[in-house]
A and B are shown apart, each in its own frame.
Chain A
Amino acid sequence: MSLPRSDYDPRRVCVNPFPFLNISLGKHRRSVGVYLAGGLFGLAIWTFLDAAILSAHAHPPYNEPDYPVPVHVGFVDWLPGIHSLLGIIVINLIDKDRVRGDEGYGDSRAVWRARLFLFVGFALMAGGLAGSVALLVLKYILAGYQEQYLYYGYANVAQNVELMLSAVILWIAQSGSGEYEYNLAI
């Protein structure tokens, strides 16, 4: 049995293939992608923790010691990151061969369920991102705080963007063409 090695792969998820996939990193493409995803994940965690630690150590300005610190990072600020993290976990728990809808893998309802959970995962991540933007606007910008307190909101948005980038890079790196060629070789 031989499948034609053409550009068109009937099993792929997206209609338009990602154009930057053809960067010739060779056999290290997968490990580089995984390292990059892990680095972005750590960066996301520390971006938000930076804001949280900064808020915990915030002090009034030196020239007016009686001026209270107007806003702190509370539990509400943690919620978008928690949702994005849940989304990442859900997305990574899905078997990627199921989503592609191979004939050999189970019935069609399994494919349908896998795609449903993939949708739930991406909805959680998008909800986290939208929640962080809403938090930035509602809690920080509309309240009219100074620039140094707006940083808490910007850090939250940056955290969720980095988490989403991490998940996308991990997905692309793990659904590479290595296993596909391996299957062809059998």
Chain B
Amino acid sequence: MAAGLKTVILLSFVLAVGFLMIILSCALWSNWLPLLVALTFVVAPLPNALFAHCGGDDFSTDIGESSGPVDLGRFITAIIVVTGFALPLILAHSEIIHPGASVMSIIGGGLVYGTILAYSAAFKQDDDSEF
């Protein structure tokens, strides 16, 4: 396994920076609505993880990544990711939060979600399931 201790440290650092950006975007303007972005991006990989094992059993061949529940999980994941990026923009558009808070929470959310993706890509198990 190529990914070792340095990867873990780097990823945790990036995750901490992401959460720092989100919390700063809330605290600097004392408006705690952008904290929803962190919640959204943390929830985002959950449907994929839940539905990933509904795909195929041991008897299905390698092509068997095409089943209904797996597709549903991917669909919901994509919806939640788009929600995470769209929510700060919409809140800033309606002048509920400051535009600076919007940009900072989007960057922080992207860092958090990128960390989750990179983690599941680096420490993937032997089965060739994509995250």
Contacts and interface: CB of A to CB of B under 8 A. Distances in A.
Interface size on A, as a range, is 20 to 34
A170 B74 CA distance: 11
A38 B77 contact: yes
B94 A38 contact: no
Contacts, number: 78
Interface string B70-86: 01001111111111001
B94 A36 contact: no
A179 B89 CA distance: 40
Interface string A143-186: 00000000000000000000000000010001010110110000
Interface of A: 27-28, 30-31, 34-39, 41-43, 45-46, 49-50, 53-54, 56-57, 170, 174, 176, 178-179, 181-182
A49 B130 CA distance: 32
B126 interface: no
Interface stretch (B17-25, B58-66, B102-110, B111-119): B58-66
A38 B93 contact: no
Interface residues of B, number: 25
B90 interface: yes
Q: 10 closest pairs, A vs B, by CB? A: A38-B78, A42-B82, A38-B75, A46-B86, A42-B79, A39-B78, A34-B74, A57-B94, A50-B90, A35-B78
A178 B55 CA distance: 15
B130 A31 contact: yes
Contacts of B74: 31, 34-35, 38
Given A34-B75, A178-B66, A179-B66, A42 B96 contact: no
9 contacts: A42-B79, A42-B82, A42-B83, A42-B86, A50-B89, A50-B94, A53-B90, A57-B94, A181-B63
